[in-house]
C-alpha cells in the first residue's frame, strides 16, 4: 500500500511540478534519515538501496557521521564495497559491526522509528559479514552476509530487561514480534524463528533483493 501512496504522490508531483516542495516530499532530494517517515521515504530508501552515491548523500543530508571502511575485493564473492561501521546510538555488543551503506541506512530508520520508540537501549548481535552460503549450506547461493549486507540480532536490551530471541520469542507479553514486524518496514528480508530452525535464536535483517517478512 505504501507503494501506491508513493506512486500517487509522484504522479501528483509530476502534475503540479516539484519546484517548491519541502525536501522530505521532493523525490530528487536525498533521503533524510532523521525526518519523520512519509509516503516518499520507501521510494527514497529504494533508491538508496540501488545507489551507493544516494546512500552516502542520505547520511550527509541527515548529518549522521559514518566511518567508511576501505573496499576489499574478493574473488569468491565475499568482498566489501561501500561499507561503513554501523552508525548506531544504541549500546552494541560485541562491537559496532561493519555493514553496507544501504544496510546502515535501513538500520538508522529502524532504530529511530521502531527500536527507540519501543524503549530499546541496546542490541546484542551475532555479526554481519561472514563468507558463507545461505543457511551455511555447502553449496548453493551466497548469503547476504558474504558482502556484509546482513546483520543478525540475538537480543534486545531495555532498561533493566533483556529479551533474547532464542528464549523469549514464544512469550506473548514480549514485544519481540512488534520489533520483527517493525523491521519489515525498512529491510528487504527479515527472518526470525517463524521462518526456519536456522533462525530460532536471531533476527536476520538484510538489504538484498528478496522481500520476505517472517
Site for Zn ion contains 185 (CB under 5 A): no
Among 152, 155, 156, 182, binds Zn ion (CB under 5 A): 152
Nearer to Zn ion, 62 or 149 (CB): 149
Our finding on whether 204 is near Zn ion (CB under 5 A) is: yes
Instruction: Please say which residue, 182 or 208, places its beta carbon nearer to Zn ion.
Output: 208
Q: Give me the least distance between CB of 187 and Zn ion, in Å please.
A: 11
**Of 55-63, 85-93, 173-181, 204-212, which part binds Zn ion (CB under 5 A)?**
204-212
What is the rounded CA–CA span in Å between residue 28 and residue 114?
26
Interface segment toward Zn ion; rule CB under 5 A; list 65-73, 77-85, 167-175, 203-211: 203-211
31's CB contacts (< 8 A; 6+ apart) are 41, 44, 45, 47, 48, 54, 57, 58, 61, 62, 105
- Report the site for Zn ion in 55-74 (rule: CB under 5 A): none
Minimal distance, residue 144 CB to Zn ion, in Å? 7
Q: Is residue 56 classed as helix, strand or coil in its secondary structure? A: helix
Contact call for residue 180 and Zn ion (CB under 5 A): no
Residue nearest to Zn ion (CB): 204
Rounded CA separation 23/172 (Å): 41
Residue 24 C-beta: closest distance to Zn ion, Å: 32
Nearer of residues 41 and 147 to Zn ion, judged by Cβ? 147
Which among 19-27, 88-96, 142-150, 180-188 is the span making contact with Zn ion, rule CB under 5 A?
A: 142-150
Distance CA 209, CA 205 (A): 12
Neighbours of 87 (CB within 10 A): 19
Question: Do the bridges between strand 83-85 and strand 98-100 make them parallel or antiparallel, or are there none, so unpaired?
Answer: antiparallel
Give the distance from CA 162 to its chain's centroid: 21
DSSP H stretches of helix in 62-98: none
111/152 with CB nearer Zn ion: 152
Distance CA 115, CA 79 (A): 30
List residues binding Zn ion (CB under 5 A): 150, 152, 204
Amino acid at each position: 500500500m505504501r507503494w501506491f501512496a508513493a506512486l500517487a504522490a509522484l504522479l501528483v508531483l509530476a502534475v503540479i511540478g516539484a519546484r517548491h516542495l519541502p525536501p522530505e516530499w521532493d523525490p530528487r532530494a536525498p533521503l533524510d534519515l532523521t525526518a519523520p517517515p512519509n509516503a516518499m521515504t520507501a521510494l527514497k530508501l529504494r533508491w538508496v538501496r540501488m545507489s551507493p552515491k544516494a546512500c552516502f548523500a542520505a547520511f550527509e543530508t541527515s548529518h549522521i557521521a559514518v566511518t567508511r571502511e576501505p573496499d576489499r575485493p574478493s574473488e569468491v564473492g565475499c568482498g566489501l564495497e561501500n561499507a561503513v561501521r554501523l552508525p548506531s546510538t544504541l549500546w552494541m555488543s560485541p562491537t559496532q559491526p561493519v555493514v553496507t551503506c544501504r544496510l546502515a541506512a535501513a538500520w538508522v530508520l529502524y532504530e529511530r522509528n521502531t527500536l527507540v520508540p519501543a524503549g530499546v537501549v541496546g542490541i546484542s548481535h551475532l555479526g554481519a559479514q561472514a563468507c558463507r552460503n545461505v543457511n551455511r549450506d555447502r553449496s548453493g547461493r551466497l548469503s547476504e552476509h558474504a558482502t556484509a549486507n546482513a546483520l543478525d540480532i540475538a537480543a534486545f536490551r531495555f532498561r533493566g530487561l533483556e529479551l533474547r530471541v532464542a528464549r523469549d520469542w514464544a512469550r506473548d507479553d514480549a514485544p519481540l514480534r512488534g520489533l520483527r514486524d517493525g523491521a519489515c518496514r525498512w529491510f528487504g528480508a527479515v527472518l526470525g524463528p517463524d521462518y526456519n530452525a536456522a533462525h530460532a535464536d536471531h533476527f536476520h535483517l538484510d538489504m538484498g533483493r528478496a522481500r520476505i517478512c517472517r
